[in-house]
């Protein structure tokens, strides 16, 4: 068997953006496999609800990736309760779509702050912790919008193209310290991300969020001897 989920039993995995979409699906799957979790989200009430449904040791901690102090508190809580963090899955994200000429600067700034700066800060603090253990994994959930340009995606693509570049530098620098970084670029995925977006693609044609979670789990238990740097996951019909 190429990917052995049993290797995740007892591992300590941190997930940002854990109460919605890919983050939530990943938390549910990893807990069912046997991983212990540190889960973060802005919504403390939803964190507690999710924690109550999971099967392993779960540490919920309110998290705002735009706030460096909040990130540090998130990491410290995980270390305090779990001892160490073996892997980080960066799922926190924000998207707003309109034409380049009509995109409000406030929305542009927030996409950069959450998708790029937030992932940078979270990864930086967790990577320093992992380096002390000489081993760790970071998975950055990007988007097909980080590799292909689409109309109405100016701010979102800017943040995700930036994230792809950041992730590639992280791969080069951190692998020397035993910390491996993987970028996942999903196409349209059936998550609550689309709920406030008009004229979105038909959700039944999108990738199920549980499918992306399974890819994340596979990457977290990849066998020794090779590393997955980057994968693109697309709906069967391609870009919708």
Give 14's DSSP letter: E
> Cα(207)–Cα(35) distance, rounded to whole angstroms?
24
What is the SS3 string spanning 23-70? HHHHHHHHHHHCCEEEEEECCHHHHHHHHHHCCCCEEEEECCCCCHHH
Say how many residues make up the chain. Answer: 240
Q: Which of 5, 156, 180, 193 is catalytic?
A: 156
Taking residue 102's Cβ as centre, other Cβ atoms within 10 Å add up to 8
Take residue 115 and report the two structure tokens written for it.
């998708």
Residue located via tokens 């997955």: 228
For residue 58, report the phi and psi dihedrals to the nearest 5 degrees: -130, 130
Catalytic (active site) residue 5: no
Report, as residue numbers or ranges, the catalytic residues: 156
């Amino acid at each position: 068997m190429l990917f052995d989920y049993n290797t995740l039993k007892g591992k300590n995995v941190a997930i940002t953006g854990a109460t919605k979409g890919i983050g939530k699906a990943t938390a549910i799957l990893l807990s069912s496999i046997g991983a212990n979790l540190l889960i973060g989200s802005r919504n403390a009430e939803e964190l507690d609800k999710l924690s109550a449904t999971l099967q392993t040791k779960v540490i919920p901690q309110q998290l705002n990736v735009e706030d460096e102090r909040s990130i540090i508190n998130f990491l410290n809580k995980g270390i305090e309760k779990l001892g160490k963090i073996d892997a980080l899955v960066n799922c926190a994200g924000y998207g707003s779509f309109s034409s380049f000429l009509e995109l409000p600067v406030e929305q542009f700034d927030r996409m950069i702050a959450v998708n790029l700066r937030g992932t940078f800060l979270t990864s930086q603090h967790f990577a320093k912790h992992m380096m002390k253990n000489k081993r760790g994994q970071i998975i950055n959930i990007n988007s097909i919008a980080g590799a292909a340009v689409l109309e109405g995606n100016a701010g979102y693509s800017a943040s995700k193209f930036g994230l792809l570049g950041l992730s590639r530098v992280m791969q080069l620098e951190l692998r020397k310290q035993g910390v491996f970084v993987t970028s996942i670029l999903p196409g349209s995925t059936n998550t609550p991300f689309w709920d406030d977006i008009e004229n979105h693609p038909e959700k039944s044609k999108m990738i199920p969020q549980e499918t992306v979670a399974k890819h994340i789990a596979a990457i977290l238990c990849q066998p020794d001897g090779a590393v997955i740097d980057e994968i693109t996951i697309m709906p069967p019909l391609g870009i919708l």
